[in-house]
Structure 1
Amino acid sequence: MNHLKPSEIEKLKSALLQEKTELQAHFKINAETTEDGRPISMQDSDGELSSYDNHPADSGTETFERERDMALDEKLGTKLAQVNRALTLMEEGTYGLDAETGQPIAYERLEAIPSTRYNVENVPNEESAPERPVEEQVMTLPPKGAGEGRQAAAGKFDDAGAWQALEDYGNASDTVNSQSEADAANELEKLR
């Protein structure tokens, strides 16, 4: 930790303690337990008299909301653990060193992310999203040529293009021009 000045360490510690306070406040406000410490059931939390509702979408919405809150709590719980780990490392005197290489982490990076344990080059890739959706591994390809016309003209038919096409083509009340009449007569002769 010798690469950090005492004033920098104090500033980073202050930022970590503030973040810890905010995270703990979130968990205190959003604690979903009954008075005896049991987790609140769906029926208790939504205030419905029965778990069978006249509007199934209401229970679907409630389920979605609870799952979203659980995911947020999990993410914030991980963040709280990272903050606590950073504070512990600060007390041990090893704060600000890369967990993989032991090299000093730049103060600017620590200022931006006080709980980080890695230099930019060494950040684990485990949290990065896959390049393509997993579903694509089991999907069948569309038939050859499907959608090629739409893809070739993608973005080319805007409002201005629509009016031009209407002007070129005409509408049901327009009379057929002489060239079209001649073409139709020629086709009719070929059929006879």
Structure 2
Amino acid sequence: MRVIEPIVKFDLAFSLFCLQHRFSDPLARISRAVSHTGDGHLYVLFGGIAFLADDMYGKALLAAGMISFLIELPLYWLAKNFFQRRRPQELSSMVTAYITPSDRFSLPSGHTSAGFLMATLIAYFYPPLSIVVFLWAGCIGAARILLGVHFFTDVLIGALLGMSCAQAGLLLTTEWMI
């Protein structure tokens, strides 16, 4: 347990730094909108548009996305329930949560995981969009911290989970799709 104490202290200090300043309320409004882009509806929309509009990569992107999410969702759920890490506002009364999270535990960040999963897939099939989609995924992760529902390490592990699941999905689908 002593190994993770410095991580827990860093996470709490970082959350307090991000949430205790005069710009917290305006940033929370922006963060809410950014976070909402990671709720899943855009992933379905993008996959559908790619499938219908791109004869070269659309089917492969959709297949890789479905396989990747079939891998990511159970791993995300298992990790949440294994670690059972409490959310920032539960660890400190000085942390304000600007939204009500959809589940009880914070590790890993599901929004961040899904955002980085999609960013990885989009960057693979459409490399010119790489910078934009990875910045967008990073903004989703930052928004989750600025909303007071995740710690920095929740977001970091969520990003790693999403990218890893996307890579696994690509390995499982691109060999027979392209």
TM-score, normalising length from structure 2?
A: 0.23
Higher helix share: 2
Work out which of the two has the higher radius of gyration on C-alpha atoms and give 1 or 2.
1
TM-score, normalising length from structure 1?
A: 0.22
Q: Name which structure has the greater RCO, CA cutoff 8 Å, separation 6+.
A: 2
